[in-house]
Amino acid sequence: MLVGVPREIKNREYRVGLTPDSVREFVAHGHEVMVERDAGAGVGYTDGDYERAGARIAADPKEVYAAAELVVKVKEPQAEERRLLRPDQILFTYLHLAPDPEQTHDLVASGAVCIAYETVTDEHGGLPLLAPMSQVAGRLAVQAGAHCLEKVRGGAGVLLGGVPGVRAARVVVIGGGVVGENAITMAIGLGADVVVLDRKVDVLRRLASHFGPALTTIYATRQSLEDQVLDADLVIGAVLVTGAEAPKLVDRDMVTRMRPGSVLVDVAIDQGGCFETSHPTTHDEPTYTVDDVVHYCVANMPGAVPRTSTLALNNVTLPYALALADKGFPRALAEDAYLLDGLNVCRGRVTYRAVAEELGYDFLPPREALKG
């Protein structure tokens, strides 16, 4: 199979779909790899690195998309990239379709086979291709939030960990999954006063056991959520409903009543955001202010640390991408129910239930799609 790796074009997105090491694995399996010129430059990989691994270098994205049977990316294809997709071409990347009707429309119209990293599952019900980026984003959320609390950034002028004789900042993490746990790790490490809210007692029990008395765990109700948000210096939104739009847990009224100079970091922004006042921002202009509350809603947070993120992502995506190339998508998906969960769009049909329901498409079960 001919595998294509285009250069990412989303704002400040420096990650790359395959590293030279990953390219070498594809070549060893008998596949051809075409990498767009400078695709790995943001991570420190030269075109020569890719050529030594066995790849051919393409001059532009049109050459990659025209030739590739399997396209391996990092972020969702932008509008100009979606126009290059063709029927039966396999696209393997993050998609986050539920809050993105324009992208969904274009992918359906393309006739391509679109497999989303973020909905591939494992035998434990986890999301193995989302987890490493959730780890990165959770840790970055605390760094970004601490930065935004500085007065020159619009914050209240609070040092996250405080100093002797001055209280530490209060950090409230909404959601105790992978993002939440990594945010808690960083916040506690910096000396903050940390609270986590979740609606799963098992999650709270696990976090309490892991972090001990350094972490306050609270069962999430409307009242407890409101109480904690209004008392917070930094709130990190770390909720996820797999494949669906994130619930709006902090409404506009709550934001209005927060302390001036407090900060919201919405890690769920790729799925529409969990704060009512959230809208996507970029690394160039990462924040905005609503009612004196600073909002950080960068939609590709891990892109800020592209080398760490690329290596972590390739560690988990490579076996699945190789399976798609070795077997072809019908057989690879038919033999792996967990990879099949990643199929979101197939040959003009929406094959992920949450996306179909959110955006008003007829749902075609993925196994039915494979029969076509």
HEC states along 241-288?
CCCCCCCCCECHHHHHHCCCCCEEEEHHHHHCCCECCCCCECCCCCEE
C-alpha distance from residue 29 to each of 26, 316, 318, 372 (Å): 5, 18, 12, 27
The DSSP bridge pattern shows strands 343-346 and 349-350 to be antiparallel
C-alpha distance from residue 62 to each of 5, 13, 80 (Å): 11, 19, 10
- For residue 329, the SS3 value is helix
Q: Say whether 96 is catalytic.
A: yes
Residue among 100, 193, 270, 341 flagged as catalytic: 270
Token representation of residue 307: 């080398």
Question: Residue 67 belongs to what H/E stretch?
Answer: helix 61-67
- All residues at 6 or more sequence positions from 108 whose CB lies less than 8 Å from its CB, including other chains: 345, 348, 349, 350, 361
Residue among 96, 100, 198, 295 flagged as catalytic: 96
Q: Say whether 105 is catalytic.
A: no
- All residues at 6 or more sequence positions from 222 whose CB lies less than 8 Å from its CB, including other chains: none
- For residue 34, the SS3 value is strand
Gyration radius (Cα) of the chain, Å: 21
- For residue 186, the SS3 value is helix
Alpha carbon distance 159, 216 (integer Å): 20
What is the set of active-site residues?
96, 270
